[in-house]
A and B are shown apart, each in its own frame.
Chain A
Amino acid sequence: MNPTDTTRRSFLKQMAAAAAISTVAELVPGAAFAGEAKEKASDGGLHWQKAPCRFCGTGCGLLVAVEHGVAVAVKGDPASPVNRGLACVKGFHAILALYGKDRLTNALVRKNGKLVPVPLKEALDLVAAKMKEISAKYGKDSIAMYGSGQWTIPDGYVASKFMKGCLGNNNLEGNARLCMSSAVTGFMTSFGMDEPMGCYDDFDHADIFVTWGNNPAEMHPVLFSRMLERKQNSANVKLIDLSTRTTRSSHASDKHIIFKPNTDLALANGIAHEILARGWQNNDFLAKHVTVRKGKTNIGYGLVDKENFKDEPVATTLDEYREFLKDYTPEKVEKISGVSAANIRYLASLYGDPSKRVMSLWCMGMNQHVRGTWINNLVYNLHLLTGKIATPGNSPFSLTGQPSACGTVREVGTLAHRLPHGVVTNEEDRKHAAEIWQVPVERINPKPGLHTVEIFRGLDRGDIRFLWVQVTNPMVTMPKLKRYREATQKEDRFIVVSDVYPTPTTEIADVVLPSAMWIEREGLFGNSERRTQHWNELVPPPGDAVADGWQLIEVAHRLGFTKEFPWTRENYNEKAYEEYCKHQAGKKHGMAPIADLKKNPGLPWPYVNGKSTKWRYHGKFDPAASGNTWDFYGNADHRANLWLRPYEPAAESPDKEFPFWLCTGRVLEHWHSGSMTRRIPVLHRAVPHAYVELNPADAKRMGVVDGDKVRLTTRRGTMVFPASVDGRGVPEPGQVFVPFFDEKLLINELTLDAHCPISKQPDYKKCSVRVEKA
């Protein structure tokens, strides 16, 4: 066969495949056939390359087309098992986020109160010099670094090695502390290992979807569409929405159940009570795979500086659990939560029906919660009581908000107590890390550093003098913002901010470093289902902008850590990732090698012998599990923990002076603090500013109509918002809701920094507020 003939045959075969694929596309909507995005032979076509979406934790695979160094189009990657070609409006416009006219392209240094452009080298010299100077003057623990789940895996890894392995400083935190740390402590206390046991395949198997304080129609739209797709294709599938506010998800659900703020704790216990009362529990599963535990109660709200709560778990029995649940009969729970006893029994009948596969989903509603760890535990309890866990469609699923909250902050461990594998307090874990880092083990500090709220409180008190913020915007997202913004302006504080656009956080910076964003650099993210995704640099970064991780390495080099970072700007992503993989080696958390990641639209860990593990803790699916059934190997006794956790009220409940609940959150069009999505004209036009949602009855009583000005006052401050009375969300009477993305209408001026004492994650969903017509 001559070469021309081979080409022709290959062409004919491609034609044949294309014809069949386009026919299938009509027959079976949503069908997708794996195939790598490749450069086309024909001229004039676009050249598509893969990258995971820059925004939420769903981790949609996108395809980006680049022409002459500029991204010109973006669409969902049909080969990605996450989104199968779909995206949401943010993903479908993700490339526009690169092209705001006010991109930071120069380093800026504050001189005489004004930020002035300087060469990048000069700014990096200054940062290194200040770190040295402040460390000498105030001690090494006066230095802190604050990143986020938007850090790529290599960048988070560099930060961890730099802070913990080089500087011996554990004051390293990620914005995931405000977002996912209750999920982490929930997983750790129940299963001894972080991250969900299931995967997105569960969406194709579950019969019942229960969303707990979650609005996936807006926050995880692609996953929500997968639920709707499942419902369309299967007659008995039901969506049940449990929430404090009526949302788009509520409207699309088969049943919408409203509970009073913070009473999800009672509701979960009430469902458990009913399951046991009816004998719907899985006794065999409980006997073989579950340990019952209880911890401290009345644990406070972390409102006092330096408060450091430590739980003391003790083993107990199923009998004691039954006794404990006597306070949570459906009738008693109805009084606490406002959910009718009939509805509690109905929910129990869904969880308790052995023929139904149940997926529970949650995100910020359960995590930004003064008892965040507890409510995570309590929802796991329902799955443990019924044995509905770690098998296809039976899945308690904690969703993430940031693209690499799992991949970077939780897996690499950019948290004050964590190492890339394990925790700083464990000697074995320190040895493991020191060996790979090739640093003396004594250099790693065995004492956990300050958690996020404490870092900012420390800045106020003077314990923290140098803070480097990367890929996040705390001057929009911190609760009780006024205290922490003023803290940054105190004398002898030095703030470095790496970002892509001017934000309220760059406004308080002494040095601003311009960052390369998303596809302007190579990177890796890890999504909610443990899927690691790699992308290449697709377009050049503007001006002096450079990847956040490389900024850290440049400064590390200046401080003498050249041996620890023997990498170049071109290869550091791969080198750092390869080194990171050594920390996680093994069947329980093995990471896919970078060569495999380049060829695939992401691969979930544990990655064992060239294969991803879809369901952990079950011998049928997980090579790390022993036996043919469940093996919760994260815990020493190979059992999952069922927890006795009571209902306790919120830190601040409505009273005479502040009679409303204030809840904050996101909207579909804007992501996080809005610094990227607001620069995408389509998204900004759709939701141009923040607002306060009122219940129509409250609005009527106050004489407020849509668009009127409404004054909100909490113990932290007072602000005026336009009212939304007939908008997309409807709070219950006596409650209001405000989205937090708007830097001009900063609701976090009013929120409270009360947090879960175990996870240290603030509760942005509950404080009391006075509402008046302005």
Chain B
Amino acid sequence: MRRIMFFPLVCTAMLAVWGCRQEVTSDAERTEIVSDSSSRAHDAEQGGMYRDLQMGYRKSDSAPRMGSARILEQIRKHRAFDGAPPWIPHAVSPENERTGTRNCLNCHRDGGWVEKWQRYAPPTPHPEWTSCRQCHVPGDGGDAFRPSGWKTPAYPALNDRSQPAGPPAIPHSLQYRGNCLACHAGPSAPVEIRTTHPGRTNCRQCHVPANSDGTFPESKL
């Protein structure tokens, strides 16, 4: 059978509306980081279901209680540079150490509340790759072998828009990070980059890569 189909293709990830309650952290360090939220102000103005969180974790009974939300600064601590695979910030089970694959996807396939760590697991944007420890390794082994001169380069600015009301461009490579909602929606998404409109699942209708990222087949055209 031959037919012509017209996309917009619906993003593969399904978004459930997260009805969970997230705790606001009382951790001093996190409070400090959270208060430094200038980059989030813009998104916050747009409203949306996480507005209260984005405005600065109002610790009041009326605010949604949704655990300790992640912020960009924390997750950037677990990467050598933008685009590098994050290392594992928690202990791994002996079974995971032996198999290199097992257990990771229990929490990281779809995300969800993890009682043990008292927070939401971030879902992986690439659950089809199952040899997890090929790229993600524990990060708890203590001091450096020899001092490193590596400096993590600056991350690209958020809210790269061509005009004030325009949709921001995608500042990162889409390789292994092509599932937008895995990182941009849900309770584990860093608050700065949570979408205000997770219901509109055809993300790349409006958000385009900020640059061709080297994979662009320019030479062929």
Give A contacts to B, CB under 8 Å. Answer: 10, 13-14, 17-19, 21-23, 25-27, 29-30, 33-38, 40-42, 44-48, 63, 65, 67, 72-76, 78-79, 85-89, 92-93, 96, 99-102, 217-218, 221-222, 224-225, 228, 232, 246, 248, 251-252, 501, 668-669, 678-688, 726-730
Is B221 a contact partner of A23 (Cβ separation < 8 A)?
no
Q: Closest CB of chain B to A722's CB: distance in Å?
A: 13
Q: CA A17 – CA B218 in complex, angstroms?
A: 9
Specify which chain A residues have a CB less than 8 angstroms from the CB of B130 in the assembled complex. Answer: 228, 232
Q: Closest CB of chain B to A222's CB: distance in Å?
A: 8
Interface code B131-159, partner A: CB below 8 Å = 1, 0 otherwise?
A: 10111111111101111111001001000
The segment out of B61-69, B105-113, B170-178 that lies at the interface is B170-178
Q: Closest CB of chain B to A252's CB: distance in Å?
A: 6
B100 at the interface (CB under 8 A from A): yes
Q: 9 pairs across A/B with beta carbons < 8 Å?
A: A73-B83, A88-B135, A92-B84, A100-B147, A217-B100, A248-B98, A680-B148, A681-B144, A726-B98
B76 at the interface (CB under 8 A from A): no
Mark out the residues of chain B between 1 and 27 whose CB falls within 8 Å of any chain A CB in the assembled complex.
7, 9, 11-12
Which chain A residue shows the least CB distance to B87?
A682
Q: Closest CB of chain B to A685's CB: distance in Å?
A: 4
Q: Closest CB of chain A to B209's CB: distance in Å?
A: 7
Which of B7, B133, B141, B160 touches A684 (beta carbons < 8 Å)?
Answer: B141
Q: 10 tightest CB-CB pairs across the interface, nearest first?
A: A45-B211, A35-B217, A48-B214, A686-B137, A685-B141, A248-B100, A221-B134, A688-B141, A251-B99, A678-B145
Is B85 a contact partner of A89 (Cβ separation < 8 A)?
yes
Which chain A residue shows the least CB distance to B8?
A23
Q: Closest CB of chain A to B95's CB: distance in Å?
A: 9
Q: CA A564 – CA B104 in complex, angstroms?
A: 57
Is B128 a contact partner of A100 (Cβ separation < 8 A)?
no
Q: Closest CB of chain B to A55's CB: distance in Å?
A: 13
Which chain A residue shows the least CB distance to B180?
A26
**How big is the B interface, by class?**
35 or more
Specify which chain A residues have a CB less than 8 angstroms from the CB of B178 in the assembled complex. Answer: 22, 25-26
Which chain A residue shows the least CB distance to B217?
A35
Is B146 a contact partner of A35 (Cβ separation < 8 A)?
no
Specify which chain A residues have a CB less than 8 angstroms from the CB of B137 in the assembled complex. Answer: 89, 668-669, 682-683, 685-687
Specify which chain B residues have a CB less than 8 angstroms from the CB of A18 in the assembled complex. Answer: 208-209, 212, 216
Q: CA A683 – CA B146 in complex, angstroms?
A: 12
Q: A36-B218, A75-B173 are in contact. List 7 more A-B contacts (CB 8 A).
A: A26-B12, A35-B216, A35-B218, A100-B146, A221-B134, A222-B134, A228-B130
Specify which chain A residues have a CB less than 8 angstroms from the CB of B101 in the assembled complex. Answer: 248, 251-252
Is B139 a contact partner of A682 (Cβ separation < 8 A)?
yes
Which of B131, B145, B210, B218 touches A679 (beta carbons < 8 Å)?
Answer: B145
Specify which chain B residues have a CB less than 8 angstroms from the CB of A75 in the assembled complex. Answer: 83, 173, 175
Is B87 a contact partner of A686 (Cβ separation < 8 A)?
yes
Q: CA A17 – CA B178 in complex, angstroms?
A: 16
B97 at the interface (CB under 8 A from A): yes
B82 at the interface (CB under 8 A from A): yes
Specify which chain B residues have a CB less than 8 angstroms from the CB of A246 in the assembled complex. Answer: 98
Q: Closest CB of chain B to A285's CB: distance in Å?
A: 35
* In the complex with contacts A17-B217, A45-B213, A668-B134 CB distance below 8 A: yes
Specify which chain B residues have a CB less than 8 angstroms from the CB of A248 in the assembled complex. Answer: 98-101, 133
Is A38 a contact partner of B216 (Cβ separation < 8 A)?
yes
* In the complex with contacts A13-B221, A684-B145, A726-B94 CB distance below 8 A: yes
